[in-house]
Amino acid sequence: MTDRHAEAALLSYPLEAPEFGAGIEVASGVLWLRFPLPMALDHVNLYAFDEGDSWTLVDAGMRWPKGLEAWDALVEGPLQGKPISRLICTHHHPDHVGLAGRLQRAGAELLMTRVAWLTARMLVLDVEAEYPAETVAFYKRAGMAEKVLEKRLKERPFNFADMVDPMPLGYTRLSEGDTISFGGREWDVRLGSGHASDHATFWSKADDLVITGDQVLPGISPNIGVYPTEPEADPVSDWIASCERLSAFATDDVLVLPGHKRPFHGLPLRLRQLIDNHHGVLGRLLAHLETPSSAGETFTPIFKREIKGGEYGLALVEAFAHCQHLYFTDQANRELNAAGAYVYSKI
Ligand SMILES: [Zn+2]
């Protein structure tokens, strides 16, 4: 989602982005690589850490034809044909685990949090030709517009396996508080939630790099959504708590390596902005719920702009998450209407 803050002038971005298939050095032995994505957010960042005769790679892109071409170009170009000996995936989303399976089969050790690995592997194995009844009920509860739902039900559902390689059995677990070494550095592992459960971030002890994946992004606020996998979740609470907790470790001198957009300085400010964004959204949403509404009817107060075709799905799960948060924190009531949608009203 587009940021509501004009923070661009306050965060500093020391580097210009590399082309797809190219890489630039952001610190000694650390390459920033760009991998294309087939959506409005058209890229994901990968980071490669030089291990001498191999690389440790952070995040693995998404499996689609242009992505595979870009990957081949990265291997032949900046990665100099050296193998990936270790792959670290920050979280389970398809733009971060897409090529994990093939890299594992080529010999890489995969490191992830347990929740992230289990979720990714479960979703890859769950191939559906039609929308399952629980997903349809979920869409209705979120107040998905009738026309959108009708259209979706005629299409093949999005399947993780469409964009993520099959994942072999076995991985190495990352946990909160671990210290791990890669790229000649020692890193503290800190977990966050809200965008994805048990999302890993890495804080270098020595040289002021922090790898945030999508837990902290500049310029856009990470999508905070409720999904059919856990329809009664309150990821907004998880998100705000994670930002508050990570703020205790954040300093201005670190260079943040995010999953999308550009590396930046200004981590304490960015965490503050992300928290404030959601409080702002919740305030506008609560005022709007003087008029009882389903989540699908709250896009205007939440996003302050029109939501177009391709954005609808992410906008809906984000709106639902904020409505659910107001319900779980006793600020709004909810009732099922005849169409199966939760209608929220301010208490
Ligand atoms: Zn991402």
pLDDT in tens, 187-238: 999 999 999 999 999 999 887 999 999 999 999 889 999 999 899 999 999 9
Please give the distance, rounded to the nearest whole angstrom, from the Cα atom of residue 214 to the centre of ligand 1.
5
DSSP classification of residue 301? H
Phi–psi pair at 138, nearest 5 degrees: -60, -50
Please give the distance, rounded to the nearest whole angstrom, from the Cα atom of residue 95 to the centre of ligand 1.
5
**Helix, strand, coil percentages for the chain (3-state, nearest 5):** 35, 25, 45
Please give the distance, rounded to the nearest whole angstrom, from the Cα atom of residue 40 to the centre of ligand 1.
12
- Write down the pLDDT at residue 155: 93
Fold that domain 23-128+158-277 belongs to in CATH:
Metallo-beta-lactamase; Chain A (3.60.15)
Residue spans of the chain under pLDDT 50: 1-7
Please give the distance, rounded to the nearest whole angstrom, from the Cα atom of residue 96 to the centre of ligand 1.
6
- Write down the pLDDT at residue 2: 45
Written as one string, the DSSP assignment of 4-21 is SS--TTTSB---PPPPBT
- Write down the pLDDT at residue 1: 44
Please give the distance, rounded to the nearest whole angstrom, from the Cα atom of residue 105 to the centre of ligand 1.
23
- Write down the pLDDT at residue 333: 97
Distance from the first to the final alpha carbon of the chain: 28
- Write down the pLDDT at residue 306: 84
Please give the distance, rounded to the nearest whole angstrom, from the Cα atom of residue 219 to the centre of ligand 1.
14
Please give the distance, rounded to the nearest whole angstrom, from the Cα atom of residue 260 to the centre of ligand 1.
6
Please give the distance, rounded to the nearest whole angstrom, from the Cα atom of residue 343 to the centre of ligand 1.
30
**For the chain, domain boundaries:** 23-128+158-277
Q: Which amino acid belongs to residue 290? A: E
Please give the distance, rounded to the nearest whole angstrom, from the Cα atom of residue 224 to the centre of ligand 1.
12
- Are 140 and 231 a contacting pair, CB within 8 Å? no
